[in-house]
Structures are given as structure tokens and as C-alpha cells.
Amino acid sequence: MTDKLRINKFFTHHGICSRREADRLIESGRVTINQRVARLGDQVGQDDVIARDGQVIPWGMASLYIKYYKPVGVTTTSESHVPRNIIAEIGHPERIFPIGRLDKDSSGLILLTNDGDIVNEILRTEHGHEREYEVSVDHPFDQTFIDRMVQGVVILDRPTKPCRVERLAPARFRIILTEGRNRQIRRMCQVLGYRVLALHRVRIMHITLDGLAPGKWRPLTEEERAQLFQAVGRSGGQSDTRRE
């Protein structure tokens, strides 16, 4: 590679941390470039040796894409001091982080990676990637509830995007969203007079929980990876190494 990267983007490309966290590392003097202390805005290339706390970070790290069946009680955070944080629960030897969130009180599918670039490609609302949930509420609902959910509900001062809803039982439904606002389904139900008792995510785009027991994880299959890359508009989806 001949092009240079800003030092904070180097950290996100290698799945180490966010740009904000990288800036904090740099400001605290914990990052070096060719054995000199890095500064905010420094540019680096593949000929440079970057280290954090004295440990060299190699270029071209292998990309990891993992799916995990999150049980209720696990918190979707990389903060190590939080009890039952998702990183500690999985215990992967490589540095990974979750793509998006799933509430502590919710269960189901969540994806994790060390690929900092793919996160926004999956999460950005305008891309319209589907997420499917099964939801139980505290009392039976009628067709008006379904119609209101489908059309959009005003939460956090603006309406939600239209979605798809299917009744599964008198007080249980399936919902497919193309956005992921903070506690969105719970807030939508609350506006309409219902309290969510259980919320379970069964699908993100084409990726499902098939073959996973609660608390278990596995890498995406080659087919799942290829479909993921196709969905976010990447080429060369079969590659196992990062291209910086």
C-alpha cells in the first residue's frame, strides 16, 4: 500500500477500537510510530511500525466475523468493567467488538467483528438492512396496534420508518425493521400502551440464529461472509485478509 492513513483510522481499520478511543490513546502517549510518540493527525503507511503500549500492531490482520446468540442479562459493551459484558462472555482470543447493540433485557442474534469499516456499512439506516425480531407484550393487541406499528410511531421526537409486522399469537408478534434506534421496539410499544415482556432478535440481513444455542458463537460461514459483503457492496468477499 502506498496511500497513508490517519493514525486513528489505522486503529479502526484493524478492529482495535473506535477513532475516539484511538484519539484518547494517542493523546495519552500510549501509541508510537517508528518508536516515537504519535501525535493526533499523524499519517502512517505499511512501512511504519505502530505500537500500542509497546506492543507492535501488524498490518494486514485477518478479518473476523462472528455471530453470537446473546442471552438475556449480557450487556452489549466492550467496557471490561461491566459485569457480563459481551466481550468477556464470548472470550475470543482476538480483539473484537459488537456491530450495533441488543439491550441487556433482550436476547438473540448479534454480530461481532474486528473490521471497523464494516460497522457503519451495516448500521447506516439509508442502507435499509433488515433486522427481524419476535416480541411478546403484556396484553393482547388488535389490528389497530399492528397498523400503527407498520405506519410508524413517533419516538424520540420523530416517527419511526415503516416496518412489517405479523401476529404470532394474541400478545406476540414478529417485526422487521430497517433502522435500529435506541430501544426502538420497546419505545414504540410503550407509546401504544403496551409493555414488552420479551424481545428476541432472530435475523440480521440474511444471517440467522440457525445452529446456535443461547450463549454460543461461531464464525460466519464462507457463504454467510460472501452474502454479507455482497449486501454492503463489497467485492472480493472471499478474502481472509484485510486490505488497507
Read off the pTM: 0.73
- As a whole number of angstroms, the distance between CA 107 and CA 200 comes to 5
197-220 confidence digits (pLDDT tens): 999 999 999 999 988 999 999 988
Nearest CA to 138 out of 196, 187, 201 is that of 196
Q: Does residue 19 surpass a pLDDT of 80?
A: no
Alpha helices, H only, the chain: 7-13, 19-27, 86-90, 116-123, 143-151, 184-191, 222-231
Round to whole Å and give the CA distance between 62 and 68.
19
Q: Give tens-digit pLDDT for 107-120.
A: 999 999 988 778 87
Q: What's the burial of 22, exposed, middle or buried (CB within 10 Å: 0-12/13-18/19+)?
A: buried
Pairing of strands 196-204, 107-113: parallel
Greater model confidence, 233 or 29: 29
Predicted pLDDT of residue 61 = 65
| 113, amino acid identity | T
Query: What is the sign, positive or negative, of the torsion defined by CA atoms of 71, 127, 168, 157?
Result: positive
pLDDT for residue 125: 67
How many CB atoms are closer than 10 A to CB 168? 11
The model's pLDDT over 150-192, given as tens digits with 9 standing for 90+, comes to 999 999 999 999 999 999 999 999 999 999 889 999 999 999 9
Residues 23, 48, 103, 117: which is the catalytic one?
A: 103
Does the active-site annotation cover 53?
A: no
Structural domains of the chain, with CATH: 5-56 (3.10.290.10), 65-124+206-231 (3.30.70.580), 130-204 (3.30.70.1560)
Dihedral sign (CA 108, 178, 136, 86)? positive
- Average pLDDT of the chain is 88
Angle among Cα 163, 166, 171 to the nearest 5 degrees reads 115
Rounded Cα gap, residues 131 and 107, in angstroms: 13
pLDDT at 148: 98
Position 234 confidence tier, pLDDT thresholds 50, 70, 90: confident
As beta bridge partners, residue 69 has 109
- The C-alpha atoms of residue 5 and residue 18 are separated, in whole angstroms, by 15
Q: How far is CA 23 from CA 12, 40, 47, 115, 230, in A?
A: 11, 7, 21, 18, 32
pLDDT number for residue 238:
37
Asked whether 113 and 15 are in contact (CB, 8 A), the reply is: yes
